[in-house]
Amino acid sequence: MGMRITQRMTNRMYQRNNNLTMTNLSEAYKRIITQAKYTRTSENPLNSEKAMSIRKGLRELDVWDDNISTAHELFTTAESSLTQVTSKLYTLKVKPLLVQGSTTTVGSEGMMAVGTELRQTAEEMVDALNADFNERQMFGGLSQNKTPFTIVDVVGASTYTDDTTVDGTLLAGENYIMHDDRIYREADGYRIDPVNGLLNPDGTPVDTGATFYDTWTTGDLVEVAGPVARGVCYNDILMTTIAQGADGLYYGTQMNADGTKTENVLVPGQGQILLDIGLGIEFDADLNVNPNTAFDTALQGFKILGYGVDGEGYATNLIQLTLDAAAVALKGDITKVKDLNEYIDRAEDAFTNIRTSITELGVRYSSLEYYTSKNEDSRNALLDRQLTVEGTDIYKEITDYYSIQAAYDASLKMGANILPKSIFDFI
């Protein structure tokens, strides 16, 4: 016995199939507009999991690229500040002034004018190196909210004089020679040569052809404070006193606000400022970052500028040398031009050290270029993978859309033939 197909069943089947076709048409249109295979995780759980991993990778690349961009800008700004010190302030001002002040023709007043300009230039150097970057002191190391370089008035280093001085602490009898208002002690490595006279510890003559010494002066020396001078501090530590300790850290004399000094203070701001740039950052058991898995952006100004003194007691940083030369010139003593001339070669050495630091900045900048390129390659690979997992083949989707559209149009035409006409069709 055959089953009777009623008109109601026909209508219901047609309506269901027609609604399904409309739904497929809508979904195809949505895939074309969004160019995504699915819009809800429930539609494709497996690919959704893959897509989340890909998007996480893209987000990490965004963070890494942002950190690299920050480091790029920091190094560019730092190089600009150092170049201003070396090219504009030293080459165009300090060096010519030292040469000018070292000639006897400049006169006493001219020498004092040179000293004034040198002191002003030293202050300009400090201003250049205290420049901010993104609300951070570039050369302050970890002390980012403190002005790193300052110029303060300090009592000069203790010096030795002969036993006619009544002030100071009496020392034991020593062999010494007084020359040009300076004490040269045998205990410090100076020696007498029968041909060249008084020799420096490195064997060079102290005075070539002026005064010959063949005997030591023996007697008691006393240690007295030197004159008030101007000194450069880094995070309140006098830079000429900074030295590396046995633990690898740096210590120096702190200049306190009340004018007193505190010896052997740890230089603030030491340490690393690490950025994640895609090196596979790792942490130890104490949650400290492994420095080999991150990029250090700390710029410790005392290392860049130079710290401590050389074997003859001269500062190694350019700003302090400029201030010391200014102090000599401001005396206006034309007989001391030779002392001022001493600062020319020493300032040139300090200038070379800063240029070396600029080169090192360039090397670090170039290394960031490699990671920028590496991250870009990774981004392209992830985007291609994301298109495979989430994206649609737009040409296939358009073809499918028009196929469904044709099926829908055919359904409407067929419906006009199989569905009964209502009274409204005859009105």
**Same domain as 240, residue 116:** yes
**Predicted pLDDT of residue 161:** 59
* 342, part of any domain: yes
Same domain, 337 and 318: yes
Structural domain range at position 171: 158-225
Question: Domain check: are 333 and 209 in the same one?
Answer: no
SS3 label, residue 150: strand
Question: What CATH number should be reported for the domain holding residue 87?
Answer: 1.20.1330.10
List the beta bridge partners of residue 243.
Answer: 251
Domain contains 389: no
Whether the CB-CB separation of 58 and 386 falls below 8 Å is answered with yes
Pair (210, 236) in one structural domain: no
CB 25 within 8 A of CB 401: yes
Q: Is 7 a member of any domain?
A: no
* Nearest-angstrom CA–CA distance, 237 and 158: 18
Q: Of 207, 225, 243, which residue constitutes the final position of a domain?
A: 225
Q: Are residues 299 and 241 in the same domain?
A: yes
Buried b (16+ CB within 10 A) or exposed e, 55-92: eebeeebeebbebbeebeebbeebbebbebbbeebbee
| Whether 147 and 175 share a structural domain | no
Residue 22 forms part of a structural domain: no
- Evaluate whether residue 358 is within a structural domain: yes
pLDDT at position 43 = 66
> What per-residue confidence (pLDDT) applies to 315?
92
Q: Is residue 256 part of a domain?
A: yes
Residues 94, 63 share a domain:
yes
Same domain, 133 and 269: yes
Whether 150 and 173 share a structural domain: no
153 with 204, same domain: the answer is no
Q: Which of 181, 206, 225 is the last residue of a domain?
A: 225
Question: Identity (one letter) of the amino acid at 353?
Answer: N
In terms of domains, do 199 and 138 share one?
no
Residue by residue, pLDDT tens for the chain (427 residues) are 445 556 677 677 767 777 777 777 777 777 777 777 666 666 667 777 787 888 898 999 999 999 999 999 999 999 999 999 998 999 999 999 998 888 877 788 899 999 999 999 999 999 999 988 877 888 998 887 789 999 998 876 555 555 544 445 556 678 888 887 677 888 888 999 888 889 988 888 887 666 788 888 887 776 666 666 889 999 999 999 999 999 999 999 999 888 788 999 999 989 888 888 988 888 877 778 887 888 999 999 999 999 999 888 899 999 999 999 998 898 888 888 888 888 998 999 999 999 999 999 999 898 898 888 889 998 888 888 877 777 676 767 778 777 777 777 777 776 666 656 554 444 4
The answer to whether residue 46 sits within a structural domain is no
Q: Are residues 71 and 217 in the same domain?
A: no
- Please count the structural domains in the chain: 3
How much of the chain is in helix, strand and coil states, percent to nearest 5?
Answer: 55, 20, 30
Q: What is the pLDDT of residue 166?
A: 44
Q: Is residue 387 part of a domain?
A: no
